[in-house]
């Protein structure tokens, strides 16, 4: 596993940034490797590996294109869903390169690209489309999902990619490739969840409840701990309890041991049983009753995802009145929020927690399997040499 910039990257970075060499580099001898979704019959059937893909030469780049040599990617629950028949808010038009989380180095820029230069370390934003049309503060709607990376536009599971300059941000200086490649989806969502509602940002007096040990929940845990909040975490796995505590969770509840009332249990841990300030709900209708039981009056339930059972009864909107709380649905974050997150990570020297196993690009199907089987902790990583 390579956690530091290679000699080549360091050479490349300094060479081009300091000497202002022409805005191209020779990639002609190499061929790119990539995964494509050829259908939506599940990743085992629909993912296909291609190893002889032509790398665009710099003169082929559009004026706002950026050619990125990818160094790492990570998977999200959404990647499993997009590979399957349900998709997210509609079908894909294959072939599509999957994945939205990725980190790499700029190897070519179009004539109108001003924010990125050869050798810059960059991360992919979830979608350039809504940034191009609505700007850097724009938040995604569900309609924007169709254009997101790995779904409506080609994603990150490849060695080289051309991305619009509106769909990139600079990587944190403090992070190596693998942890940097975890930020695009789950970390931006966690950032928006805790700090996106102005005047209601999480702080040292906040109590935060996170559910399970997936990407969103662990990012929220780490961000909450960084501002001094008290975190209650849940998991189904006794093996993961110690890691949650090491990351700073004050309390850990096994949600399988007490499936009907772990929300009440969480509330009981707060001062005077007043309830939790922020509940990051990732389970959907299965977990929302417990989330509502845990939240304090005027607290915020973030409706983020649906890793739980989808066939259970839907929780009525009226529950927000019965629990006198704010229910806030969010989709990742704006590009400016992503930049805020990057600055915060550098300032607080946060290193995103990642899974113990790192996969090579060619092993992406095994990486999907690990995610599907919920064997991972936080983020499933893919190293791209």
Ligand X SMILES: NC(=O)c1ccc[n+]([C@@H]2O[C@H](COP(=O)([O-])OP(=O)(O)OC[C@H]3O[C@@H](n4cnc5c(N)ncnc54)[C@H](OP(=O)(O)O)[C@@H]3O)[C@@H](O)[C@H]2O)c1
Site for ligand X, rule CB under 6 A? 76-78, 185-186, 189, 211-217, 235-237, 240, 255, 282-283, 286-287, 304-308, 330-332, 371, 374
- Closest approach of Cβ 5 to ligand X, in Å? 27
Of the candidates 156, 136, 173, 210, which has an alpha carbon nearest to the alpha carbon of residue 342?
173
- Closest approach of Cβ 222 to ligand X, in Å? 13
Pick 116 or 255: Cβ nearer ligand X: 255
Pick 60 or 309: Cβ nearer ligand X: 309
Pick 2 or 310: Cβ nearer ligand X: 310
d(CA 83, CA 105): 27
d(CA 331, CA 350): 23
d(CA 226, CA 223): 5
Pick 117 or 200: Cβ nearer ligand X: 200
Residue with tokens 């994945």: 99
Pick 27 or 290: Cβ nearer ligand X: 290
- Closest approach of Cβ 366 to ligand X, in Å? 15
Pick 202 or 279: Cβ nearer ligand X: 279
| β-strand pairing of 168-170 with 121-124 | antiparallel
Pick 71 or 240: Cβ nearer ligand X: 240
**Is it true that the peptide bond before 95 is cis, omega within 30 degrees of 0?**
yes
- Closest approach of Cβ 131 to ligand X, in Å? 15
CB contact at 8 A, 99 and 185: no
- Closest approach of Cβ 280 to ligand X, in Å? 9
Residue 78: count other Cβ atoms within 10 Å of its Cβ: 24
Q: Phi and psi (nearest 5°) for 300? A: -120, 125
- Closest approach of Cβ 370 to ligand X, in Å? 10
- Closest approach of Cβ 56 to ligand X, in Å? 30
- Closest approach of Cβ 52 to ligand X, in Å? 32
Pick 47 or 118: Cβ nearer ligand X: 47
d(CA 147, CA 154): 9
């Amino acid at each position: 596993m390579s956690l530091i910039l290679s000699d080549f990257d360091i050479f490349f970075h300094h060479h081009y940034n300091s000497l202002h060499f022409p805005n191209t580099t020779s990639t002609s001898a190499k061929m790119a490797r990539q995964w494509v979704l050829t259908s939506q019959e599940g990743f085992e059937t629909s993912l296909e590996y291609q190893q002889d893909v032509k790398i665009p030469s710099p003169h082929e780049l559009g004026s706002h294109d950026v050619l990125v040599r990818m160094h790492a990617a990570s998977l999200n629950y959404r990647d499993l869903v997009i590979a399957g028949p349900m998709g997210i808010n509609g079908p894909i038009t294959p072939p599509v390169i999957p994945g939205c989380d990725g980190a790499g180095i700029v190897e070519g820029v179009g004539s109108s690209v001003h924010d990125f230069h050869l050798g810059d370390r960059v991360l992919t934003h979830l979608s350039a489309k809504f940034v191009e049309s609505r700007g850097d503060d724009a938040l995604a709607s569900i309609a924007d999902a169709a254009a997101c990376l790995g779904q409506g536009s080609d994603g990150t599971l490849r060695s080289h990619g051309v991305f619009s300059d509106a769909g990139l941000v600079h990587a944190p200086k403090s992070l190596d490739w693998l942890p940097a490649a975890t930020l695009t989806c789950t970390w931006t969502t966690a950032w928006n969840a805790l700090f996106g509602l102005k005047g209601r940002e999480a702080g040292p007096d906040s109590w935060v409840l996170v559910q399970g040990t997936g990407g969103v929940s662990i990012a929220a845990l780490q961000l909450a701990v960084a501002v001094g909040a008290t975190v209650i975490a849940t998991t189904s796995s006794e093996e993961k309890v110690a890691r949650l505590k090491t990351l700073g969770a004050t309390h850990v509840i096994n949600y399988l041991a007490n499936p009907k009332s772990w929300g009440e249990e969480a509330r009981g841990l707060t001062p005077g049983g007043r309830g939790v300030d922020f509940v990051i709900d990732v389970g959907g209708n299965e977990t929302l009753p417990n989330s509502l039981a845990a939240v304090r009056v005027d607290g915020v339930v973030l409706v983020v995802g649906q890793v739980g059972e989808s066939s259970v009864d839907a929780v009525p909107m009226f529950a927000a009145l019965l629990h006198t709380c704010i229910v806030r649905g969010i989709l990742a974050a704006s590009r400016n929020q992503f930049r805020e997150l990057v600055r915060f990570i550098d300032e607080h020297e946060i290193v995103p927690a990642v899974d113990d196993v790192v996969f090579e690009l060619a092993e992406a199907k095994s990486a999907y399997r690990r995610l599907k089987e919920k064997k991972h902790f936080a983020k499933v990583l893919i190293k791209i040499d």
